[in-house]
Amino acid sequence: MLSIDEKQNDIIEDFSIFDDWVGKYEYLIDFGKSLPMIDEKYKLDENLIKGCQSKVWLNTEMKEDIVIYSADSDAVITKGLVGLMVHVLSNQTPEAIVNSDLYFIDKIGLKDHLSPNRSNGLLSMIKQMKMYALGYTVKN
């Protein structure tokens, strides 16, 4: 199982292949398409991430001390963003998630190329994912 940092480094390497943001956005959209689909039964209002302009559903569960996320969005770029976050943070311990430094976002230039609304939505995703993980650390 890859660590959070190993997954981030893979993403940085993958994005470095592209010379422009057209290619990077296409890759981001494709990444969203590869996201394991959230079960329809979790597409509930209580699973919507607050602060996202588009609809983003996030579900989390704990299996053998590992947090597993699933997500979906009704917008292709946002689905790619949540796909990246699920890829990096899923299948990790709650402590690793809570303490993670998500440096890949700056390294691939994502912050500079997102609209303010999408950037706020990304921060909301990260906050919610870390809050769920923190909840699991309290339960243990």
**Confidence at 139, pLDDT banded by 50, 70, 90:** low
Residue 9 has a CB neighbour count (10 Å cut-off) of 15
* Catalytic residue list: 52
The whole model's pTM is what? Answer: 0.93
What's the pLDDT tens digit per position in 108-121? 998 888 888 888 99
Task: Sketch out the chain's domains with CATH numbers.
Answer: 4-139 (3.90.1010.10)
Q: Which of 103, 127, 105, 108 is nearest to 5 (CA)?
A: 103
Q: CA 33, CA 80: separation in Å to the nearest integer?
A: 7
Output 137 or 11, whichever has higher pLDDT: 11
| 140 has a pLDDT exceeding 70 | no
